[in-house]
Amino acid sequence: MIKFIHPELLITALTHRSAINEKKGSRESNERLEFLGDAVLELVVSAYLFRRFPGLNEGELTAKRAQIVQTKTLAAAAKNFGLGGQIIMSKGEVKAGGADNPSILANTFEAVTGALYLDQGLTVVQNFIAAQLLTRLDSLFPQAKVTDYKSRLQELFQKRYKTAPKYRLIRAFGPEHKKTFIVKVYLKGQAQGLGQGLTKQESEQQAARQALEKIRHIC
């Protein structure tokens, strides 16, 4: 467990509301810290994604962030960190398996994040989130990984050709509620990949993937 300058913050972060109901007036629950931690997590994860994936647009970044901060992922991080056995709960909640409850685990992870932010500031909490969540995404929750072919292609183009890829919408067809888009990606005026999807973003990702396969002979 992390060493806190103010240990009472950690105790509050670990206190589930059921413990308050069982022993009224004994302590504060972690719900307020959970609220703060949720905001801190969104900020840190958003900044990480913004820097890590320059090829993703706002919608794609939002979707990827949602995958990372969802209950299943945070619960896995909390369990890996050993929070389950540290949560202060009522006897009834313990018997009901609260230590393994994904919602309780995720909420506690958020509360500890909020408490750490108050106790030691943003830099420390960034390191905590990186160590416990961002660098372990593949093992915590493989589905949280989103392959970003656009960013990989852009990095390759910039490094090898000192220029950025350009995407062009070739055609869109189908009913308004279910259109199909066809996009090509170009390098110095030459088409390098073709993509098709139900959104422009998906089509661009597929075009970038094809270009990578062509240029680097990888998937």
At residue 141, the pLDDT reads 59
Q: Which residues of 197-208 are buried (b: 16+ CB within 10 A; e: fewer)?
A: beebbbbbbbbb
Interstrand relation of 190-197 and 166-173 (parallel, antiparallel or unpaired): unpaired
Q: Is residue 196 part of a domain?
A: yes
Asked if the model's pLDDT at residue 216 lies above 80, the reply is: no
Q: Is residue 1 part of a domain?
A: no
List the catalytic residues. Answer: 38, 110
Query: Which of 42-46, 66-70, 166-170, 210-214 bottoms out in mean pLDDT, i.e. has the lowest?
Result: 66-70
- For residues 154 and 204, membership in a common domain is answered with yes
CATH of the domain at 200: 3.30.160.20
Confidence band, pLDDT 50/70/90 cuts, at residue 21: confident
Residue 113 sits in which domain range? 7-144
pLDDT in tens, 91-126: 999 999 989 999 999 999 999 999 999 999 999 999
Q: Look over the chain and give the mean of its residue pLDDT values, rounded to a whole number.
A: 87
Asked if the model's pLDDT at residue 29 lies above 60, the reply is: yes
At residue 24, the pLDDT reads 61
At residue 194, the pLDDT reads 95
Q: What is the mean pLDDT of residues 185-198?
A: 91
Q: Is residue 98 part of a domain?
A: yes
On whether the CB atoms of residues 77 and 172 are closer than 8 A, the answer is no
- The gap between the terminal CA atoms of the chain, to the nearest Å, is 40
Confidence band, pLDDT 50/70/90 cuts, at residue 219: very low
CATH of the domain at 53: 1.10.1520.10
**For residue 154, what are the contacts with CB-CB under 8 A and spacing of at least 6?**
54, 55, 164, 165
Asked if the model's pLDDT at residue 85 lies above 70, the reply is: yes
- For residues 90 and 162, membership in a common domain is answered with no
CA atoms within 13 A on the CB side of 80: 16
Indicate the pTM of the whole model. 0.69
- For residues 160 and 114, membership in a common domain is answered with no
**Among 87, 121, 144, residue at a domain's last position:** 144
Q: Is residue 122 part of a domain?
A: yes
Q: How many domains is the chain built from?
A: 2
Confidence band, pLDDT 50/70/90 cuts, at residue 47: very high
pLDDT in tens, 159-185: 888 888 999 999 999 887 778 999 999
